[in-house]
Structure 1
Amino acid sequence: MDDRTFRNAMGRFATGVTIVTTQVGDDTHGMTANAFMSVSLDPKLVTISIDHNARMYERIKASGQFAVSILTDEQKEVSMHFAGQKDDPSVVEFDYISGIPVIRDALAAVVCNVAESFEVGDHTLFIGQVLEIKLTDGNPLAFFEGKYGSYQPV
């Protein structure tokens, strides 16, 4: 199978939209991602998958920490900014939890120390030990077949 067929098949899995953030020195860095999942309740662990060519890869390795902000359906512009689809920094507002930047008013912000990392193909799986969580009310931003949408309960 070719790369396009694989990408099309993976795009048929509807996901939420997250922004992965970290802090290196005084510099805040973020990227849009949907490769995020919970791993364990005891201990509380999550994982993110980061391409080795992404700037975030080296930044998480340097900081040893990251946060995942799960976006609301009102934060599409924030996602597009961090995905490089729109250059509008005015749409981004950060809060800081334990010194790690998170997206203000996200549905959830999960702050982690890197517990382990595993190189798998052209990505690294960063396993995060959850330090803190902040929750906010709202509806999730969804992503399906390369398009943004909203969750509609059935």
Structure 2
Amino acid sequence: MNDEQDDLSLFRKTVQVDRRIHNETVEHVRPKPNFSNSPRRLGVRQQQAEFFFSDTYRAHLPEGPVRYCAEEESSYLLKQLRRGDYEPELFLDLHGLTQAQAKREVAALLSACQKEQVSCCAIMSGHGRGILKENLPHWLVQHPAVRAFHQAPPHHGGQASVLVLVAIPD
């Protein structure tokens, strides 16, 4: 044991600390508050939704499955949507919403698509009484970000759903 005590005392002499180490205090930078969801901004978004979608406007849509292609876009987009070549990344279910709520949700979805760089989304209106299903195409035609839309193929909801192609800003 004597050797162990000698080793311990030798170690303590060798590693002797001359001064104490003081903790340095670091002042953390507080993040700036995010005002993106403030009531004022939400009001602006709701006004934009009301601006984009008029209930009185009725687009001239062809008979058959719901479909639309913007003038500057290729009509081949409709064929690609019908075949299911585009896979939707975001989905919106309008079941149980009023028309006003549905308008706001559709505008928010299109805005989210542009913000998140998502080019294809699906909107499910369901069958129900058909009010939202009837109005949805007329609302989508009015939005400047909508490139094209088509009734979804069966594996994405069929007649109760619409696939939408959204223009992604550069």
Return the TM-score normalized by structure 1: 0.29
Greater gyration radius: 2
- Which structure features the higher share of strand residues? 1
- Which structure features the higher share of helix residues? 2
Return the TM-score normalized by structure 2: 0.27
